[in-house]
Amino acid sequence: MGHAIETDWGAFRVEWSNRGLTRLDFPGEGRVPWNGDGGKRPAFVRRFAEALRRYIDGELVEFDVPVDLSRASEFARAVYEASRRVPYGRLSTYGAIARELGRPEAARAVGAALGQNPVGLVVPCHRIVGSSGELVGFSATEGVGLKRRLLELEGAFPAGGTPAARLALRVPADFHFEHTVTSHGWFDLAPFGYHRSLGSLHFAQELAQGRAASVRVRTAGRRLAVEVHSAGALSRADRRAVKKTASRVLGLDRELAPFHAELRRRGTRSWIPAGGFGRFLAAPTAWEDLAKTLLSTNASWSLLRSAVARLVKRLGTPAPGGLSAFPGPERIARMSERFLRSEFHVGYRAPYLHELARRASEGQIDWERWEDPATPAEEIRAEILGLPGFGEYAAANVLRILGRFDRLGLDSWLRGEYRRLFPRRDPSDAAIARAYEGFGEHRGLVLWLDLTRRWHPDAGDSAGARGERPPWEND
């Protein structure tokens, strides 16, 4: 049976069997004869139609409807299932899909199978790109142009066009790109986008005169290659701002050598210095770190991801490639609490976010002082706790991002993970404190790395395998 779904992009045409969707045509497309609008739509078709309209409107949507791929080959079905695991706003490559299927030589076959994909979007073949990020192999009517349009809608920042600038950053000898990016969940929140198979991280940042740039960072030997896309030419001040922001985001100014040397001297946790662990991914600004931390309190990861995505799309300054920068405090302070609550689903956090934005926009928070390593951590902690909606959990999270680890920052998640990973140990706060007190100003960092080691398969065998999956994988 068939049905037309009207959206702002035009009419999508869908067919189904009693097992699931069998075909989806984009507007203006008709690869096989159309069966017409007939029959009563089953619940999964109605659910898909609603989700499709929200997707076209720019909402973060994952299409979890059933599909009937019985006419596809066994290999093609495996390709489609692997492609469905690539999340909204992320990219993978034909080669990465082939390796996931245990056939590393089959990248071309993967591309051929995706070229016959009968249910685009549901099987998101638009998220599969060439090995260097190039957009190839999209069989819908508009071809690569439509692929780019879909990726820009998702904020995936596809490669294309000539960058306004190509910059390079030196990195410390102990820097590890992937371990820094995935140090915690910020990479999963807009306007960040991390594409593991491409080895690239992108984000948007505001520039002078109300502009914003899209920034892509890749590893290039002992340097980072930085591509900047903007609507116009970049001034020297713009280039300096981008370099400073990229350095902040990846913690390039953090001095880890003494910490790593101390672990080697003690003969403990050799995987930490070997893997370049210890840096935390930060947002382009401390304001963004504060706002995201506030929104994360007592919220599921899916709710946090959705709220941040809405804020960025609705209030952020647009940048090339479908990205927008996180809205500055002045913009949020102009919104009413009621608007923040109803439009961005932030619940009881709305008045706290509004007041935080007001204080930040009026210059009541000394960001430079917080970033200065000479400022005592306890003073920063006291100031954070004085902000609306910030308790010990939130303060500890902000301090970690700022590179301050002398407190453990124990919360319900850390306590639960500790009990799961070390079931034979005393799980009381006092006992945990005793276990890590010997690490001094790095005690909180060692605890965090112990409890998140399982997030990094290349960190070696660990009791951490018994822990829970990261929250962004659970939702």
Catalytic residues: 125
Amino acid, res. 18: N
Which is nearest to 72 in space by CA: 60, 81, 64, 63? 81
Residues 6+ apart with CB under 8 A from 274: none
Distance set, CA 52 to CA 44, 45, 123, 242, 401 (Å): 12, 10, 13, 36, 37
Note whether 443 and 405 are within 8 A (CB).
yes
SS3 for 213? strand
Which is nearest to 309 in space by CA: 53, 86, 88, 150? 88
- Cα separation, 238 vs 323, whole angstroms: 18
- Cα separation, 366 vs 113, whole angstroms: 55
Note whether 334 and 360 are within 8 A (CB).
no
CA 13 to chain centre: 31
CA 135 to chain centre: 21
- Cα separation, 404 vs 400, whole angstroms: 5
- Cα separation, 143 vs 28, whole angstroms: 12
- Cα separation, 212 vs 215, whole angstroms: 10
327 CB-side CA count, 13 A: 22
- Cα separation, 87 vs 449, whole angstroms: 26
Q: Which two tokens stand for residue 235?
A: 């001034």
Q: Which two tokens stand for residue 392?
A: 């010990």
Other Cβ atoms less than 10 A from the Cβ of 180: the count is 23
Note whether 407 and 399 are within 8 A (CB).
yes
